Each structure stands twice: as structure tokens, then as C-alpha cells.
């Protein structure tokens, strides 16, 4: 069995907190409640001194716990009296495919973000704006540079990202397919 040290616990929190909040928000559509739920999950791990089979099971446990707490919140009396979810909406949120899809999207987004952050600052900014569907002209205007500089930096950025992301091509393709 594997138990987290305080240093590992803090590192895990720092590494996964944002992704878990976004994951909870995919269920709840309320970022403040999502943050509360993720914090509750982390507190429970620490207070109950939960032991894991190995380090790999921790992430799975966290995502599953956040999913379950999110669904419990949606089924709570408070939500039922203030917001209305149809039975079919709740059933969709409870499915394994929804859970897996949201988890893959968040993990892949994190991989892409980390890869982009290895680029020089200006190049990374250009790639991020490009991903957000900014045109070359809009990027140039936003950053106060020429359109040719944008084109050159995008070319450099994508060339550097290609080898970093090649092992994740299937995941990335899955995300773009599932969001369309």
C-alpha cells in the first residue's frame, strides 16, 4: 500500500487541482461549487489517510471521487429545488463514456499546455491565440507585431510541437472529433 507524504500531497494538489476543478465543472457548470468539491476530496484523502495500491491509482481515485461528489451534489435536495436537470441529462452525466471523455479532454489539454509552455514566450502566445481561433491579423494586432512575424512564429511553434505531441496524436484527434 502507498500513503502520501505531506510534500507529495501538496505536489499532487498543485498539479491536479485546476484540472479536477474543470472536470467537476463539466458536470456542475458552477466553478465555485466545483472548487469546493475538489477541496473536499483532497481534504478527505488527507484526513482519512487513504492508502493507495500505487501512485498510478491516485489520479484515478481523484477523478472518480470528484465525479461521484459532483453527481451527489446534482442529486441533492438543494439542487433539485433550485435547478432542474432532466432525467436524461442526469443519466448522461452518470455514464462511463461521459466520464472518460471529460477525463481524456482534460489530460490531453494539460499535455498540450505543457508542450506549448516549452516554446519561447512570444511563440507560445501566438500558438495559444491561434488555438483560440484568432486569425493571423487578430494575433498581430493583439501582440503588436506584423502578420509575417505571426506566420513565421506559428510555423516555428508547430514545427517544435510536432515531435513533442506525436505520441498523443490519437488522444488529440479524439478530442477534436468528440467536440464537433
pLDDT tens digit sequence for 114-172:
888 899 999 999 988 888 888 999 999 999 999 999 999 999 998 998 888 777 766 66
Number of neighbours of residue 176 by Cβ within 10 angstroms: 9
Rounded Cα distance, 165 and 172, in Å: 9
Tell me the C-alpha distance between 176 and 141, whole Å.
27
Q: What is the pTM of this model?
A: 0.54
When pLDDT is averaged across residues 92-112 and rounded to a whole number, the result is 71
Number of helices and strands (H, E) in the chain? Answer: 10, 0
**pLDDT for the residue numbered 16:** 85
pLDDT of 174 higher than 60: no
Residue 22: C-alpha distances to residues 125, 140, 144, 147, 163 (Å) = 22, 30, 32, 34, 27
Phi, psi of 146 (to 5 degrees): -80, 160
**Mean pLDDT of the region 20-35:** 88
pLDDT for residue 152? 93
pLDDT value for 114: 84
Distance of CA 96 to the CA centre of its chain: 17
Tell me, what's the pLDDT at 180?
Answer: 47
| pLDDT (tens digit per residue) in 29-45 | 888 999 999 999 999 88
Distance (Å, rounded) from C-alpha 170 to C-alpha 61? 24
CA-nearest of 62, 70, 65, 68 to 107 is 62
pLDDT of residue 155: 92
Q: Give the model's pLDDT for residue 61.
A: 86
Amino acid at each position: 500500500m502507498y500513503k502520501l507524504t505531506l510534500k507529495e500531497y501538496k505536489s499532487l494538489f498543485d498539479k491536479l487541482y485546476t484540472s479536477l476543478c474543470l472536470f467537476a465543472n463539466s458536470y456542475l457548470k458552477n466553478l465555485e461549487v466545483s472548487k469546493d468539491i475538489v477541496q473536499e476530496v483532497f481534504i478527505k484523502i488527507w484526513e482519512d489517510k487513504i492508502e493507495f495500491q500505487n501512485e498510478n491509482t491516485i489520479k484515478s481515485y481523484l477523478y472518480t471521487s470528484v465525479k461521484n461528489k459532483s453527481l451527489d451534489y446534482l442529486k441533492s435536495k438543494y439542487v433539485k429545488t433550485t435547478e432542474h436537470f432532466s432525467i436524461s441529462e442526469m443519466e448522461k452525466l452518470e455514464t462511463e463514456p461521459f466520464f472518460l471523455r471529460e477525463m481524456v479532454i482534460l489530460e490531453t489539454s494539460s499535455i498540450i499546455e505543457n508542450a506549448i509552455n516549452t516554446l519561447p514566450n512570444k511563440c507560445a502566445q501566438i500558438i495559444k491565440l491561434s488555438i483560440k481561433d484568432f486569425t493571423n491579423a487578430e494575433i498581430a494586432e493583439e501582440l503588436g507585431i506584423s502578420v509575417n512575424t505571426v506566420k513565421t512564429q506559428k510555423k516555428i511553434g508547430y514545427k517544435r510541437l510536432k515531435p513533442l505531441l506525436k505520441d498523443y496524436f490519437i488522444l488529440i484527434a479524439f478530442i477534436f472529433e468528440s467536440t464537433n
